[in-house]
A and B are shown apart, each in its own frame.
Chain A
Amino acid sequence: MRSPTDTGLREALSDLRTQRRRNRLSEWNFIDALYKAYVGALVLGVVVTALSGMTGDQRILDSEIDDVLRRGPGLVGMFVAFGLAVALRSGARGGPLALEAADVRHVLMAPVDRAFALRGPAVKQLRFLSFTGAVAGAVAGLLAYRRLPGSPVAWVAAGAAVGGLAAAGGVGAAMLAAGRRLGRGAASALGVVLLAWAGADVALGWTTSPMALLGGLALWPLEVEPLDLVGALSFAALAVAGLVGVRGLSLEAAERRGRLVGHLRFAATLQDIRTVMLLRRQLAFEQPRATPWVRMGRRHGRFPIWRRDWQGIARWPITRALRMVGLGLAAVAACAGAWQGTTPLIFLAGAVVHLAALDATEGLSQEVDHPDRRDAVPMARGALHLRHLAAPVVLLATVGMVGVAAVALFSPETALRVGLPLVVPVALAAVASAAITTVRQPPNPERLIMDQTGLMMFQHQALPPLVATAGPALLLLARPGSDGSAGEPLAMAFPGVGLLLLVALVLGWVRHREGIAEAKAGAGLSAVGR
């Protein structure tokens, strides 16, 4: 038997990868690549402009610089700690590498040293994510320069360095967790410890954690603190440790992850957001609980669909339930930002409630995904779909109440006069938006012909979040004026009726969609009522 370090085996692996690269390049389309680069640059430009608008350009006063220097490292460190916690969770599930199933079967199961076999993909992943982090950091640096003194080059460089190092450290932490087979519980616990440490730094204005020290590097354009290099070195060391430690990766996890990520990329290419969410849940091991949180009684025979939806929700794992609450609180935070004057945040709130609603309408999704089973039910498809929307509305309204309670901690009057009346309209609009996405199915690539692509993409990708945004957007009508005048919650009343009509229109479309399609195809209006 040959040694794992045998030059011949290493050469075979290198030749295999070279051959694959050569084969891929022979299929490479220059125009296609140019178009992707163009779209990427366009998206980046839009994001930078939008973020720039949210940040504003009011210069920080000299008297406030000390406060920035004291709290800034901790706040940046908090972001970094959050990223590390996410990375550790990913590592505990076999991430961040997403190897091809064929690589697992033919390379990792061959008698080749796994450290050598995994080095290529690991370095590639590290390089890509570090670059992405550096770009995000550079953008953040540019935005910081708009409000803080210092040279733009210094801000961009510091931001890029911190972003790149944070991403590299995150990838390293994930690889180390994957290679060391860290359990999901242990990874979560470690993440909580890191967040608590970073949180303590923020609360106390200290710079003790490596995350906060790295955050200090981001403020070097204001003040150079050599100790911050310890943070940078820690993250670089973490990245190297990850590259070394990933050799212990579990093949079981690698194969599962590779398969799911392959499907996920395909779904993302088709812009099938619902499938993306489903696969992401599978990647995160979010399986329904064997034992429901609450057992449903047996006296609901008259409402089987309502009951079925609650049975599904009652089996949600804790992570999914917490995510739903987290999305609710994120939407409330975005609404609070919009209430205080950053109007574009209302779109963020709309997007977040749309995502939450897609998660909540799983009963409907399952009917759409299993048409044979659905068509066996002696009921019109539209009527069946419509009945699946009741439970999600109640669920989202309940989550909304949690958000209102959170607002009440800071401003009880605003929570009562603005938040409370918005709960049901927001839930209705969100569920209506999710119903559009779910019932319409993703766009068929074969039907995306040039003169209709824009319209189809709008209907599939932009329309549903816009419908969801109509709910939280009501609060813009009630917010205080820029002249200092008090807000008027009653101003939401009339547009609120308009929103309810919009929701009714969407629900009517869900109920009679097929009839409408038949009528359009020439079957006459009588088809709509069926």
Chain B
Amino acid sequence: MPALRSDELTKVYGDLTALEPLTLTVPPGELVVLVGHNGSGKSTLLNIVAGLLEPSAGVVEIDGHPAGSLGARAATSYLPDNPVLYDDLSLVEHLEYVARLHGVDDWHERAEELLERFGLAERADDLPSRFSRGLKQKAAIALGLIRPFSLLIVDEPFVGLDPPGRSVMVDLLEEAHQEGAAVIVATHQMEFVQRTQRCIALRDGGVVYDGPAAGASVDRLVTGDSGS
């Protein structure tokens, strides 16, 4: 069963087509990079897969469950490009409740490991509302990784991260992939694109490339220079 399957997936806002009928399949354990220029539909696609947006037409399934359904929510971890955190919970309280809301009771060890790797151990009891943009981003990533998932979707994970943070992020994404999860990352970072197995390029809501990431034209796809 594919980790992600979309069939004729379409998203329309009034007279604007954000996603053209899009059919794709991502098997379990695949590391996929999603590229395209601004407004190409990457975030819209990820938001639909996460269940935050609803498609105008078509089907999206995660592990065989419709996107947004209970089964899909249990299977999908979404790391958005804008960290969304409570103002009145400390970082460790965030980790505790997100873990428990996904049925993880023995969360302490994993939380400590994530905090350590992101250099947040000293800030565990602080309110994230007082964090810088980069620290909030790290906190949000830790929240996405403390819970179990079989599909990890990540939108612009490197924005706002310092070089050590970027390095940890890459390691964590690769670990998730090695542990058998399907990982889809929307990014403009060429270095990361080259590490992945498959590249899907979007332009104006449609797929213009779906193939190996290690190709001569990928850099142009990332910057949106070429659609063919």
Contact = CB atoms under 8 A, between A and B. Distances in A.
Contact of B52 (A107, A110, A255): A255
Contact of B97 (A6, A15, A109, A255): A15
B101 A12 contact: yes
A109 B86 contact: no
Given A1-B71, A252-B53, A111 B97 contact: no
Contacts of B68: 251
B87 to A, nearest CB: 8
Contacts of B98: 106, 110
Interface in B138-152: 143
A72 B52 CA distance: 47
A100 B86 contact: yes
Interface stretch (A19-27, A187-195, A271-279, A424-432): A19-27
Contacts of B156: none
A24 to B, nearest CB: 5
A106 B97 contact: yes
* Interface size band for A: 20 to 34
* Interface size band for B: 20 to 34
Contacts of B70: 4, 111, 113
- State the majority secondary structure of interface residues on B: loop
B101 to A, nearest CB: 4
A16 B89 CA distance: 9
B84 A101 contact: yes
B100 A8 contact: yes
Nearest to B128: A102
A250 interface: yes
Contacts of A333: none
Contact of A252 (B15, B52, B103): B52
A105 B97 contact: no
Interface string A71-115: 000000000000000000000000000001110111101111100
B93 interface: yes
B54 A252 contact: yes
Nearest to A6: B103
Interface string A105-147: 1110111110000000000000000000000000000000000
A510 B15 CA distance: 40
Given A4-B70, A8-B105, A111-B73, A23 B100 contact: no
A23 B125 CA distance: 12
Contacts of A112: 101
Given A1-B71, A109-B50, A251-B51, A9 B101 contact: yes
A27 B89 CA distance: 12
Interface of B: 14-15, 50-54, 68, 70-71, 73-74, 78, 80, 84-86, 88-89, 93-94, 97-98, 100-103, 105, 143
Given A2-B74, A20-B89, A106-B143, 5 more contacts: A8-B100, A23-B89, A106-B101, A109-B52, A251-B53
Interface of A: 1-2, 4, 6, 8-9, 11-13, 15-16, 19-20, 23-24, 27, 100-102, 104-107, 109-113, 250-252, 255, 290
16 contacts: A8-B100, A8-B103, A9-B100, A11-B100, A16-B100, A19-B93, A19-B97, A27-B88, A102-B85, A109-B50, A109-B73, A109-B78, A111-B70, A111-B73, A112-B101, A113-B70
